[in-house]
Structure 1
Amino acid sequence: MNIADLRKSYEKAELSESASRADPLQQFDQWLNEAIHSEVPEPNAMTLATVGADLRPSTRVVLIKGYDARGIVWYTNYQSRKGQQLAGNPYAALQFHWAELERVVRIEGLVEKVGAEESDAYFQSRPLDSRIGAWASPQSEVIDSRAVLVSNAARYGAQFLLQPPRPPHWGGYRLVPDRWEFWQGRKSRLHDRLRYTRQAEGNWLRERLAP
């Protein structure tokens, strides 16, 4: 099969101005909950895009761990490639793709670290193996083999037993949105795209974009 011949007609839903929420966070909450209740695979998975000092963009998939009026939260190693890129350029973009619902949500904004208390609380809620793993993995660094990770995990497991503290190099980030876009697939490639842009006074401007 020629990959250029792959086609799909998007016909499951529509996104109109009258049916959408005036606040993008409320629209996101609605769509995320619909994705969860529809049991799409990993509805909490989102692509995170950052840009390094060399101006080369990079992406990876992370998991949303919280959201409210302050922004979108995830947790990771601060010394990883994404952490280093965010330290140099704190602007980033997120994307959710719920293929089964023919929907995409794009979010852009400034990224900040969450407070230590919030990071501590989430870290303690993780399974023990995941907490040990945060110590064992020098994320994004070159290692000789998987044996390095296994050895590190054994060492930190013996050191911390059942109470590993949060590593100082591990914690949360929060993206504070200033732009949202909601994409709903439609027939004949005439997709619905609604963009929300934060205004100086704090409210949101909602506009329809051509597909």
Structure 2
Amino acid sequence: MKADQISSPHYTVLEDLQGLFLSTVQCALGIHVLRAAGLVTGGTAGLALLLSYWGGWGFGPVFFLVNLPFYFFAYFKRGFVFTLKSFVTVTAVSLLADALPPLLPLGAVPAWVSAILFGVVAGVGLLGLFRHSASLGGVSIVAVILQDWLGIRAGLVLLGWDLSLFALSLLVLAPPLVVWSLLGALILNFVIAVNHRRDWYVVS
């Protein structure tokens, strides 16, 4: 009992909000850097990026729509608070990611630089969302649930989806861009797999 009390986070409302805000900004910034090099990533964010490249649509609306079906699953498996937080963060990332290009123009970013920066920045951002009982929707919701139920690392679940998505990306992107995208996803998933552990940090 004592160990559970020590390891379980106890946030005030303000602490929770600032954690969600900072994590959301990091995720949006990571996507902004990724798009500057024309790369993709995993999860529903990767699917939204791939669809936006293929169809010429904006990332934000596609990302928002792709995640809608997953909220039902999140609600029944993780409850209202997790679902609400995930909906808010997905909506915020959708808006921020599309607002950043004119506010923070990056020009042409080398693919390897984009991949590394994305993996680190978005990885830490996604980790922060997990630790505040939220997610970026879609596959990340399933990943967190599987970790809670079966002990499977969330990063490993996300990596399995990523590999399938990158195979599909070869139909839209040049192979070198897919390779650099894979590097970014590997870094992101490494950050999550190493740091998002139930024996280190128990998410309430």
Fold agreement, TM-score > 0.5: no
Tell me the TM-score normalised to structure 2 length: 0.22
The structure that is strand-richer by fraction is: 1
Point out the structure with max Rg over C-alpha. 1
The structure that is helix-richer by fraction is: 2
Work out which structure has the larger RCO, using CA pairs closer than 8 Å and 6 or more positions apart in sequence: 2
